[in-house]
Amino acid sequence: MRLSWTAFTELLRCTLLGHLRNRLALVLAVAFIPIWIAVARLCTSDQVVRIRLDAIGAPLSAPASQVGQVASALGAVTMVAGFITFTETFQSRQMDRRLLLAGYPRLPMLLAKLAAVALTAAVLAFYTTIVLWVSLPVRHTAPLALAFAGAGLVYGGIGLLLGSLVRGELEGFFLIIMLSLVDTGLQNPVFNTLMDVAGVSALPLYGVNQLALSSTLTPQSAWSPGLLSLAWSAATGALALLVLHTHRPSRAPWSRRTRVQAG
């Protein structure tokens, strides 16, 4: 048990240090989020739009600039979380393979990667909530932070999954960008005021989008959509762990091959 805990904490530390050494990821996290929110604030009019929020079961009227800033913040979090996790997972594949062949325990490695995704999502959620609070009169900060954390967890899991599957970084970056643009674009009330596109409720960010909008723009905050984001987070995380488990070698085949060669 102590050995497993040591293996978990050591790999978690190495994974987080890898995030800190990734200068592009740090620039994206620190600069891209406030810049993207500022662009939405400057480029969107103050015209009042009427949108429908299933989270509160009633229509809502709000300035388009405020709605656009919330949607842009969610999009920025998804892209940054996906990029950070994908880059680290993709670049560490060979090292992970060597560690497993050398006998490194598999379960602590998988759990450490998932814990790194959760910590990254929490930091991004805290930072984005502060930035949006400075830019907007946020009504409820706690559920808003939960919405951003849910978005980071979902796309962090997707980044973890793609980092284990794709053959090149360009393919992974393209998939993350396209998934994020489609997901956030279909649910941006500035472009789709009714949000009545078929199947929109099945998108990964549906729950966090509802939670973020209601937390920022309405006096009441509905926590229930956050459960949907947690379900998506659990699903993407579990699928990513399954792929990591099946795509990483174990020591047993290596040991058997060594014995055969020795014989």
The pLDDT value recorded for residue 261 is 44
Q: What is the pLDDT of residues 14-52, one digit of tens each?
A: 889 888 888 888 888 899 999 999 999 998 888 888 887
Mean pLDDT along residues 150-164: 91
What confidence category does residue 248 fall into, taking pLDDT thresholds of 50, 70 and 90? Answer: low
Rounded to the nearest 10 degrees, the angle between the axes of helix 169-186 and helix 64-91 is 160
Cβ atoms of 240 and 160 within 8 Å: the answer is yes
Under DSSP, the state recorded for 45 is -
Mean pLDDT along residues 86-105: 86
What confidence category does residue 1 fall into, taking pLDDT thresholds of 50, 70 and 90? Answer: low
- Evaluate if residue 78 carries a pLDDT over 60: yes
Cβ atoms of 213 and 151 within 8 Å: the answer is no
- Evaluate if residue 255 carries a pLDDT over 60: no
- Nearest-5° Cα angle at 231, 205 to 66: 25
Cβ atoms of 224 and 55 within 8 Å: the answer is yes
Q: Whole-model pTM?
A: 0.87
What confidence category does residue 131 fall into, taking pLDDT thresholds of 50, 70 and 90? Answer: very high
The pLDDT value recorded for residue 32 is 93
Q: What is the dihedral of CA 229, 235, 240, 243, to 10 degrees?
A: -170
3-state class of 63 per DSSP? Answer: strand
Average pLDDT value over all residues in the chain = 83
- Nearest-5° Cα angle at 197, 192 to 202: 115
Mean pLDDT along residues 130-148: 91
Residue 142 CB burial class (10 angstroms; 0-12, 13-18, ≥19): exposed
Q: Percent of the chain having pLDDT more than 70?
A: 89
Q: What are phi and psi of 154, to 5 degrees?
A: -60, -50
Q: What is the pLDDT of residues 180-208, one digit of tens each?
A: 998 888 888 777 655 556 677 788 888 88
Q: Which of 230, 109, 242, 91 is nearest to 172 (CA)?
A: 91
> Which region among 103-117, 188-202, 209-223, 233-247 has the lowest average model confidence (pLDDT)?
188-202
The pLDDT value recorded for residue 56 is 72
The pLDDT value recorded for residue 3 is 61
Neighbours of 166 (CB within 10 A): 16
